[in-house]
Amino acid sequence: MAAAAAAPEIRHRQVEANGITMHVAEAGPASAAAPAVLFVHGFPELWYSWRHQVGHDWGAIVSWNLCLLRPDRVRALVNLSVAFMPRHPSAKPLDYFRRAYGDDYYVCKFQEPGYEAQFASLDLKRFFKMAITVQTTGSSAMSLQKMQSSNKQITLPSWLSEEDVSYLASVYAKTGFAGGLNYYRCLDLNWELMAPWTGAKVQVPTKFIVGDGDLAYHHPGVKGYIHKGGLKRDVPMLDEVVVIKDAGHFIQQERAQEISEHIYEYIKKFSTDPTHKLSKL
């Protein structure tokens, strides 16, 4: 087991909510009176992705929606990689992805019933090495077959170790991938359920950080939306957008110290500012 996963200062428990069982890793004061910082990971990740330090990837989407639905529960938000995506009044998310990338795009392929079974035949260590280190030079199609058949030698960057990869592979080998894929399968359902919030704004002080090599940053229209006023329109309390040069999608691991500093410098303002009142998450 990776050393960070076995650290005694990290408390693990299961939380039952809305018919879903979620694993939660906690650190810091156990007192309910202490302010909470919530770190939300994406796919294919685990709580372990935040071992160096906040939402990222799918965690970013969940965090945007938390702030959209319950701004009274959040004092400030630092979000990574995936910008807020306002609900289109008539176009479903999957229709957008199919038009933009075709049916072979991984988001579309994940809709197929039983698709998670294909992961069972993979070398999971190789899969995680390729998935976590991909940047804009990689294939946005994320073909599992191509990953498996590729003979390309993978050299791990300094920020990702064999121990890290082994831990991710060992956990997913036990749990499977269905849970993660179900987030993608609920895209259109969530779009339907969020109809009452069409046009709603995220009314929480926010800092958004993205790597300039992040695939999500290079989706059609995303850069313009972030930098030409769209994100600020939909997130009126957006304080800052930070684009980190030569960084990819899993930026909280790749640039751990830099991201930690950004998070700390932002949230510490709200621990002393009396105009911002915190409700416990």
Q: Could you tell me the residue ranges of all domains in the chain?
A: 4-92+201-272, 100-187
Q: What is the pLDDT of residue 41?
A: 72
Q: Which CATH number does 4-92+201-272 carry?
A: 3.40.50.1820
Q: pLDDT at position 117, please? A: 92
Q: Is the pLDDT of residue 15 over 80?
A: yes
Please state the rounded mean pLDDT for residues 92-113: 92
Q: Please give the model's pTM, rounded to 2 decimal places.
A: 0.78
Q: Inform me whether the pLDDT recorded for 178 exceeds 70.
A: yes
Query: 247-272 b/e with 16+ CB inside 10 Å = b?
Result: bbbbbbbbbeeebeebbeebbeebee
Of 184, 217, 225, 266, catalytic: 184
Average pLDDT over residues 213-231: 94
Residue 165 has pLDDT above 80, yes or no: yes
pLDDT reading at 1 higher than 60: no
Kindly report which listed range (53-62, 91-100, 112-121, 248-257) carries the lowest average pLDDT score: 53-62
Confidence (pLDDT) at 139: 46
User: In which band, very low, low, confident or very high, does the pLDDT at 48 lie, cut at 50, 70 and 90?
Assistant: confident
Residues 56, 219, 249, 262: which is the catalytic one?
249
pLDDT tens per residue, range 184-219: 999 999 999 999 999 999 999 999 999 999 989 998
| Amino acid 112: pLDDT | 94
Q: 11-20, 23-32, 245-254 — which is least confidently predicted? A: 23-32
Task: Please say if 246 is a catalytic residue.
Answer: no
Closest C-alpha among 178, 249, 263, 179 to residue 211: 249
Q: How confident is the model at residue 18 (pLDDT cuts 50, 70, 90)?
A: confident
Query: pLDDT grade, residue 272 (50/70/90)?
Result: low
**Catalytic residue status for 57:** yes
In this prediction, residues 230-248 reach a mean pLDDT of: 97
For residues 256 and 250, give the distance between their C-alpha atoms in angstroms, rounded to a whole number.
Answer: 10
Q: Provide the 3-class DSSP secondary structure of residue 78.
A: strand
Q: What are phi and psi of 17, to 5 degrees?
A: -150, 125
Residues 6+ apart with CB under 8 A from 71: 202, 203, 204
Max mean pLDDT range (155-159, 221-225, 251-255, 267-271): 221-225
The catalytic residue among 41, 57, 214, 219 is: 57
**183 is known as an active-site residue:** no
Residue 86: per-residue pLDDT: 95
